[in-house]
């Protein structure tokens, strides 16, 4: 009866928009006590939009935007794609390109060193003071600011927004009601993480985690005795999805994320996560 019940559960999952790869995955969903959500692309749809650009110093606005977009056009990051798409085709060639995960992108454009990213992407000596009010205001409402420097001088800040999925607060509330601890894990800044967590109804967040360290954060929760489910979408999340006791990937995510996951959420609705937990618990009850 055990394998039959699990097979039925996997089939029922399919009807609910939950693609369960193995029967073991269904079994472990019932034992999970902590659910960790990635931010961009998971709690938010990852459809970033350039909301504003603020030029800083004496630089020419159109020129700064063009230099920044030229560098970002070389990166696959969702922030980079949004900045490049916002600008259009009028790009300049880039040499010495450097992509730094969790930080930003840099390159030489028209003989100048252009860096686009967060504070971690910038050199040590860069004076940020004139940008700080813009950075803080953006982060306090959950938006993501992206700094641009030209030859180590701050020349502007883009502000990008990506609203929380409408399904997020409801899904988080149901997970809580199921007795689970819910955590937000992101490479973004502490303040942006706090604002998004608040909008989604999440009270625990781990921010400023470099892509390579996301799996380590999952392992740390496991070492504290938790059975952890990770929900993610990006290349950055693949190792964390594999490390977690249960990995759930959004169907809109990258191929790598979907390969590393045990469960694919076929619906673009975070309600599939509590659905998967209750389905699994119900299935385990039938078995016992």
**Which is nearest to 36 in space by CA: 199, 186, 188?**
186
Half-sphere exposure of 254 (CA within 13 A, CB side): 18
Q: How many CB atoms lie within 10 A of CB 61?
A: 12
Kindly name the residue from 38, 162, 233, 262 that is annotated as catalytic.
38
DSSP 8-state class, residue 21: -
DSSP 3-state assignment of 9?
A: helix
Sign of CA dihedral 101, 265, 163, 219: negative
Give the contacts of 192 (CB within 8 A, at least 6 positions apart). 138, 139, 142, 143, 144, 186, 207
139-178 mask for ligand ADP (x: CB under 6 A)? -----x-x--------------------------------
Total residue length of the chain: 288
Q: If binding is defined by CB under 6 A, does position 117 make contact with ligand ADP? A: yes
Report the residue number whose CB is nearest to ligand ADP: 187
Residue 65 found at the interface with ligand ADP (CB under 6 A): no
Give yes or no for residue 236 binding ligand ADP (CB under 6 A).
yes
Least distance to Mg ion from the beta carbon of 166, Å?
A: 18
Site string for ligand ADP, 16-55 (x = CB under 6 A): ----------------------xxx---------------
User: Which of 253, 223, 219 has the alpha carbon at shortest distance from 236?
Assistant: 253
φ, ψ (nearest 5 deg) of residue 154: -65, 125
CB of 64 or CB of 246, closer to Mg ion: 246
CA distances from 256 to 21, 32, 231, 237, 268 (A): 15, 23, 13, 9, 18
Strand partners, 232: 249
* Site membership for Mg ion, residue 40 (CB under 5 A): yes
The least CB distance from residue 234 to ligand ADP, in Å, is 6
Smallest gap, in angstroms, from Cβ of residue 278 to Mg ion? 25
Measured from the CB atom, the residue of 187 and 247 that comes closer to ligand ADP is: 187
Burial category of 153 from C-beta neighbours within 10 Å (exposed 0-12, middle 13-18, buried 19 and up): middle
Q: Which of residues 57-116 bind Mg ion (CB under 5 A)?
A: none
Min dist CB 94 to ligand ADP, Å, is 12
Nearer to ligand ADP, 109 or 279 (CB): 109
Task: Output 7 or 212, the one with its CB closest to ligand ADP.
Answer: 212
Residue 245 appears among annotated catalytic residues = no
**Residue 49 forms beta bridges with which residues?**
161
262 binds ligand ADP (CB under 6 A): no
Nearest distance in Å: CB 171, ligand ADP = 18
Q: Measured from the CB atom, is 40 or 280 closer to Mg ion?
A: 40
Interface contacts to ligand ADP, rule CB under 6 A: 38-40, 72, 75, 77, 79-80, 102-105, 116-118, 144, 146, 186-188, 211, 234, 236
């Amino acid at each position: 009866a055990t394998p039959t019940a699990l097979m039925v559960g996997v089939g029922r999952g399919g009807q609910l928009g939950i693609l369960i790869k193995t029967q073991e995955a269904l079994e472990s969903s019932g034992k999970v006590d902590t659910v960790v959500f990635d931010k961009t692309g998971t709690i938010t749809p990852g459809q970033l939009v350039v909301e504003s650009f603020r030029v800083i110093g004496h630089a020419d606005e159109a020129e700064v935007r063009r230099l920044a977009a030229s560098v970002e056009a070389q990166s696959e990051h969702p922030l980079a794609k949004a900045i490049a798409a916002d600008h259009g085709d009028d790009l300049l060639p880039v040499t010495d390109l450097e992509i730094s995960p969790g930080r930003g992108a840099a390159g030489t454009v028209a003989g100048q060193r252009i860096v686009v990213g967060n504070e971690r992407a910038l050199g040590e000596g860069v004076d940020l003071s004139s940008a700080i009010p813009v950075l803080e205001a953006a982060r306090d409402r959950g938006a993501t600011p992206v700094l641009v420097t030209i030859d180590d001088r701050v020349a502007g800040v883009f502000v990008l927004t990506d609203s929380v999925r409408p399904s997020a607060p409801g899904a988080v509330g149901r997970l809580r009601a199921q007795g689970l601890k819910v955590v937000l894990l992101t490479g973004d800044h502490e303040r942006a993480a706090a604002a998004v967590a608040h909008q989604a109804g999440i009270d625990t967040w781990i921010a400023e985690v470099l892509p390579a360290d996301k799996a380590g954060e999952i392992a740390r929760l496991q070492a504290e005795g938790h059975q952890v489910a990770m929900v993610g979408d990006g290349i950055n999340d693949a190792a964390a999805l594999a490390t977690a006791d249960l990995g759930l990937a959004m169907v809109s995510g990258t191929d790598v994320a979907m390969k590393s996951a045990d469960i694919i959420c076929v619906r673009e609705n975070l309600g599939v996560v509590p659905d998967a937990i209750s389905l699994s618990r119900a299935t385990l009850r039938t078995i016992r």
